[in-house]
Amino acid sequence: MSENKVIIIAGPTAVGKTALSLDLAKKYDGEIINGDSQQVYRQVSIGTAKATAEEQATAVHHLIDVRDVAERFSAHDFVLEANRLIADLLSRGKLPIIVGGTGLYLQSLVEGYHLGGADNHEQMRELRSKLDKLTDDELLAKVAENGLSISQINRRRAIRALEISEFGEQLENQKSAYDFLIVGLNTDRKVLYERINNRVDMMMSAGLLDEAKMLYDTFLESQVARAIGYKEFFPYFDGQIPLAQAVEMVKQNSRRYSKRQITWFKNRMAVDFSDVFAPNFKENIAQKIERFLDDKN
């Protein structure tokens, strides 16, 4: 195995990233690095869809339960921690397998973003949110207004040029020392939405409401309290809506989030997706990974 190979398993919520990561970790002597922005927090395991204790026992997991609920964790923190872990795993002959659906985190790692501190990250996220809402024509007009030029006319490059214009050299990319293979997982939208709905029902049975109430009572201003799967219950706790409506809001917002995840990976990272329910899915993924690991470049 090459000394700089890293696997990333990316895709929307509930698509089956954890199951594949466990199979790959076993087959290739790998260890798993969490690439989800919420699973870093202790005390919240159900709504963040962490691998179960049994699943974590089958492969070493990193960047899970590494922050208290009241603490912050940014893309900058993720890039620093992930790079440190990758270097350690490779030095021990392990295959790093990064698993997650937080597009900003994975893109920042792969493209070598130097994001500055957490404050800069928050400002950049606000800017990116505004830019994402612009149409293609509006975005390109804004590029022109700022006197910028981009080598290829597409949204990702336009947004990146505007970010660098706003935040300066601190956001310039620093080429990663690692060779990444991104394994994108997806499936038919109807099937995915059904999986999401079923997952929410299972979360409710497992105690999701108690986790949400804990955040509501104690950590209402925390970063994780704003996550899908928790914030929808706060109007219920305030007596504004019935529980059934809150649960339906979790399902709806989760479905919408899955669509945004897919769009991010397609547009920002050019991820090639594989259908997890295709007849030859496992064989095709295995071939892709074998070719990647055998490539000495």
Residue 184 annotated as part of some ligand binding site: no
Q: Determine contact, residues 211/44, Cβ cutoff 8 Å.
A: yes
Residue 102 annotated as part of some ligand binding site: no
Residue 14 annotated as part of some ligand binding site: yes
- Alpha-carbon distance 277 to 19, whole Å? 13
- Alpha-carbon distance 50 to 157, whole Å? 33
Residue 18 annotated as part of some ligand binding site: yes
Residue 51 annotated as part of some ligand binding site: no
Look at residues 194, 256, 232, 249 and name the one whose alpha carbon lies nearest to residue 15. 194
| Tokens coding 185 | 């997982």
Q: Which residues on neighbouring strands pair with residue 185, listed in sequence order?
A: 274
SS3 142: helix
User: Cβ of 267: how many Cβ atoms within 10 Å?
Assistant: 15
Its sign, for the CA torsion 251, 273, 183, 123, is: negative
Known binding-site residues for ATP equal 11-18
For the annotated binding site, the residues are: 11-18
Annotated binding site for substrate: 13-18
